[in-house]
């Protein structure tokens, strides 16, 4: 595993939390390996919002709090500002219905600006943007 920064996507967080997710075991393995390698983790505030909303609705407030605290303790969280939001909005608006949404476009911009080429995700949009994915 890499000591280079690794971006953490919503899909990886959800797979980690949800024992019934098809990727749960793989998510556990990935995050254990990242922790053992002391790989710096990066995400952004919209991933926290997206993952938090889904976790709270599906698993309740206790799980919501655990995810939020764990991410804030273990990852650098880039807080989305107006510039980043508007740039991602333009890209999402220009894409088709099946293309990446706002949160993904924020992720792509953050990753490019921070030169992060590796992402923990189960979302195929990242590889289509040229990023290396875990798994």
The per-residue b/e assignment along 11-40, b for 16 or more CB within 10 angstroms, e otherwise, is bbbbbbbbeeeebeebbeebbeebeeeebe
| CA–centroid distance for 33 within its chain | 17
- Ordered domains of the chain (ranges, CATH): 6-134 (3.40.50.1010)
Angle, alpha carbons 105-70-111 (nearest 5°): 25
pLDDT value at position 2? Answer: 55
Note down pLDDT in tens along the chain; length 135 residues. Answer: 557 999 999 999 999 999 999 999 999 999 999 999 999 999 999 999 999 999 999 999 999 999 999 999 999 999 999 999 999 999 999 998 889 999 999 999 999 999 999 999 999 999 999 999 999
User: Which among 89, 134, 135, 94 is positioned nearest to 109, based on CA atoms?
Assistant: 89
- pTM of the entire structure? 0.95
CA atoms within a 13 Å half-sphere pointing along the CA-CB vector of 26 = 13
Contacts of 88 (CB under 8 A, 6+ apart): 102, 105, 106, 108, 109
């Amino acid at each position: 595993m890499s000591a280079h920064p690794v971006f953490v996507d919503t899909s990886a967080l959800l797979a980690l939390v949800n024992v019934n997710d098809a990727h749960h075991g793989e998510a556990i393995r990935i995050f254990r390996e990242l922790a053992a390698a002391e790989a710096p983790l990066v995400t952004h505030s919209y991933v926290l919002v997206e993952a938090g909303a889904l976790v709270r609705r599906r698993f309740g407030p206790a799980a919501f709090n655990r995810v939020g605290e764990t991410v804030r303790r273990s990852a650098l969280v880039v807080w989305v500002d107006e510039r980043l939001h508007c740039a991602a909005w333009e890209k999402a608006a220009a894409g088709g219905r099946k293309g990446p949404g706002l949160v993904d476009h924020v992720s792509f911009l953050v990753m490019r600006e921070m030169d992060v080429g590796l992402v923990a995700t189960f979302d195929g949009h990242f590889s289509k943007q040229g990023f290396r994915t875990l798994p």
